[in-house]
Amino acid sequence: MRRIPLSTSLAIAAVMAAAGSARGQAQGADEGPVIVGERKQGWRAFELKRFGADIELLGTARTDKLKATGQPDMTDRENRLRETLNLNFESYIGHQYLIDLTGTFGLRLEQRRIDTGQEDTSGSENDFNNIYDIHALMLGNSFVPVDVYTRREESQQDRAFASSLTTIVEETGAVASIQSEWAPTTLRIFQNDTDQSDDFGDLDYHQKQQSFAGVSNIRFTDDHQLEVNYTFDRVNQTQSDGFGDDFDRNDLSLTDTYTFGGDKHHQLRSYLRYFDQTGRADQETLRWDEQLQLHHSERLDTYYNLSAEQRDIQGVEQWLGRADAGFRHKLFDSLVTTGTFGGQTLSYDDFQSDELFVTGGLDYTKQVPYGRLDMGLAAGYTAQSNSERGSTFDVLDEPHVYNDPFPIVISRRQVVPGSVSVSALGGFPVYTEGVDYTVQYFPDRAEIQPIIGRGISNRQTVLIDYTIGPEPSSEIDTVFTSTSVRYTVTEGKLTGVAVYGRYRTRDPSLSTSDPSRFVLEELTDLLYGIEYRRWGVLLRAEQEMYDSSVNPYDLTRLQAGLDYRFSPDSVFTLDAIHEIIDYTSPANSIILDRVTGQWNQRLTREFDFALRVGYRMEQNDLSGDSEGFDQFLEFRWHRGRTTVFGNIRNDLLYADESDTTSQSMELGLRRVF
């Protein structure tokens, strides 16, 4: 049996110690005026205002199977029975404005039976733990109320075509809020322990973090404010593959905002940030920004930006300076003109890159017969001068979003093979190449393809580290254009129909001593389509011809969607996409079908359910075919103080190299007293 954590004991001890000072504070307190007929609240050692309890029984059965080419089959079965007693309360010690003690506390006994097919990992175990969320608000009606808290929570995240993630978070801390009209300030100190694991044992991640954070909003006048933010973190991270990191992190930022002018439409914003982190991602950053916005009239706005940044990344110093100015002008209510011009310079070690740029655009919106016409036109020019780069350069924590089925593309020349590393936001967990993703290196880019059913999910943001190699000096000029048009029918029988198109070009020119070291993308991109949106129905058909000197492809996309409410108690959503992508360099053809449907239904005041079904089929000439099913049913019945709930889940993923099956069922009962 596990004891109550030390953090909980310390929090309770702090509360009881504070209670001892209640009488001393009561004797010197200003009790205010005496009101006839109203009973004055006195001081008490302890008063319980509310107490509640409920019990919860939850049974879970789960089976996971993995068949991989060249490896023995794996079957993992788990049966779990969990009994939880939850207590919740509201109370105070001494007085409600001295210590207001509230919280929930759950005592949980869990029996597990695990069968993995291997004697050293199979067997039965009993586990006693607790979940809680306890707050002690001290001096809540004072100038500086302090909230001392401790919490422990456990959650599971379902992932389509992948095993679920279990996350356990324990945190203890204190928050002090300084009540001030001219400088409200919040100070926070806490320790956070996070454990995350999955059912297959592929992920076992631990993080311990000790932090102090402060934020203050200083109001000099109604038109002039300064925001101060500071955070210090001490972090220890480990995961099952032996990868780990220990680092300290300091992050200080100052944001000064000044609004001026007779109508208060002008604004000057100054920003200063200092960031320092030790450990594997050792770096130090100092950045300064100035942003000036001027509102000349209802038709004309201008802006002016200036920024400078100095960074030291693992011993390599970088300096970046940028300045730009622009305008936004309304010639008519339907015609908006924009323009930007400026330049930037980047230097590190013996390398320097200078760039000048100018862009302009027109946006036109007009009511036309039976509908609305939207048109856009944009053009730009950049001139870049790069000195010789004689050494490699490390790029850290570059954010990218994965959009299935397209790979994550690093659009940099000379990415060093083997240098790519991918992690989740925050830097952990670090994903494993060959297990979670694959990488292909090209002279002008690197392509990262997440493996379906592993750690990286669709539309997830990841951080990427990589190294780029040496290059000779160069002069690169680029001209780009973009044109778009859309006609939407808003009247008549065809209301909701829209036709649209977009055409983009990029034309670079290169001057260098060794042109073979560079691959610049010449591009013409044409996209056109038709769609229908009405009464919650979406129908879309579009074609894209991405004619590029680097990675050309043709894309055909058919999409159908439905978001329909049959009644206030019944909602149905459906999204189906069929995509055909033909690549020519390297030659590859991908056919992808995705269907997701969900039905939320309340049958009676006491019973409701949610049903979700997902299907994914990919035919890929290079990486092979895969097919996946995801079905999930959740229900809830409630009467009086009794609730019965449960869910059934079935995930199947079939691929050329492996087959994965995950099935689970839960049934629970909750009774409130």
Residue 26 pLDDT grade (very low, low, confident, very high; cuts 50, 70, 90):
very low
Higher per-residue pLDDT: 399 or 632:
632
pLDDT of res. 199: 59
**Bridge partners of residue 148, in order along the sequence:** 136, 174
pLDDT tens digits, residue range 88-113?
999 988 887 889 999 999 888 888 78
pLDDT at position 20 over 90: no
Across residues 495-503, what is the average pLDDT? Answer: 96
**Residue-level length of the chain:** 673
pLDDT of res. 218: 95
pLDDT tens digits, residue range 444-484?
788 888 877 667 877 788 888 888 888 889 999 999 999 99
pLDDT of res. 609: 95
In degrees rounded to 5, what are phi and psi of residue 633? -125, 130
Q: In the chain, where are the structural domains located?
A: 393-468
Across residues 279-293, what is the average pLDDT? Answer: 91
- Identify residue 547 by its one-letter amino acid code: D
Residue 268 pLDDT grade (very low, low, confident, very high; cuts 50, 70, 90):
very high
Higher per-residue pLDDT: 250 or 622:
250
pLDDT at position 38 over 70: no
Task: Name the range with the highest mean pLDDT among 35-39, 99-103, 152-156.
Answer: 99-103
Residue 383 pLDDT grade (very low, low, confident, very high; cuts 50, 70, 90):
very high
pLDDT of res. 378: 96
Q: How many CB atoms lie within 10 A of CB 40?
A: 8
In degrees rounded to 5, what are phi and psi of residue 14? -65, -40
Residue 624 pLDDT grade (very low, low, confident, very high; cuts 50, 70, 90):
confident
Q: What strand order describes the sheet that includes 445-450?
A: 408-410, 445-450, 437-442
The DSSP letter of residue 522 is: -
Q: Does the model's pTM come out above 0.85?
A: no
The torsion of the CA quartet 147, 148, 152, 155, rounded to 10 degrees, works out to: 20
Higher per-residue pLDDT: 41 or 263:
263
Q: Which three-class secondary structure state does DSSP give residue 605? A: coil
pLDDT of res. 619: 92
Q: Per residue in 383-405, is it b (16+ CB within 10 Å) or e — as a string?
A: ebbbeebeeebbebeeeeebebb
Task: Classify the C-alpha dihedral 485-486-491-493 as positive or negative.
Answer: positive
The DSSP letter of residue 549 is: S
Select from 654, 667, 581 the least CA-distant residue to 620: 581
pLDDT at position 51 over 60: yes
Task: Classify the C-alpha dihedral 620-622-627-628 as positive or negative.
Answer: negative
On average, the pLDDT of the chain sits at: 86
Spatial distance between the Cα atoms of 138 and 176, rounded to a whole number of angstroms: 9
Spatial distance between the Cα atoms of 91 and 94, rounded to a whole number of angstroms: 10
pLDDT of res. 118: 58
pLDDT tens digits, residue range 225-234?
999 999 999 9
pLDDT of res. 285: 94
pLDDT at position 666 over 50: yes
Higher per-residue pLDDT: 8 or 411:
411
pLDDT tens digits, residue range 434-443?
778 889 888 7
Across residues 248-259, what is the average pLDDT? Answer: 96
pLDDT tens digits, residue range 175-225?
999 999 999 999 999 999 998 887 556 677 899 999 999 999 999 998 999
As a three-state string, the secondary structure of 399-460 is EEECCCCCCEEECCCCECCCCCEEEECCCCCECCECCCEEEEEECCEEEEEECCCCCCCCCC
Residue 114 pLDDT grade (very low, low, confident, very high; cuts 50, 70, 90):
confident
Residue 580 pLDDT grade (very low, low, confident, very high; cuts 50, 70, 90):
very high
Task: Classify the C-alpha dihedral 418-424-428-432 as positive or negative.
Answer: negative
pLDDT at position 28 over 60: no
pLDDT of res. 4: 42
Please give the full DSSP string across 42-99, using - where no structure is assigned.
Answer: --EEEEEEEEEEEEEEEEEEEEEEEEETTS--EEEEEEEEEEEEEEEEEEEEESTTTE
Across residues 322-342, what is the average pLDDT? Answer: 92
Please give the full DSSP string across 86-126, using - where no structure is assigned.
Answer: EEEEEEEEESTTTEEEEEEEEEEEEEEEEE-SSTTT-EEEE
8: enclosing H helix or E strand = helix 6-19
CA atoms within 13 A on the CB side of 464: 28
pLDDT at position 668 over 90: yes
pLDDT at position 364 over 60: yes
pLDDT of res. 69: 77
Select from 216, 215, 242, 247 the least CA-distant residue to 231: 215
pLDDT of res. 11: 41
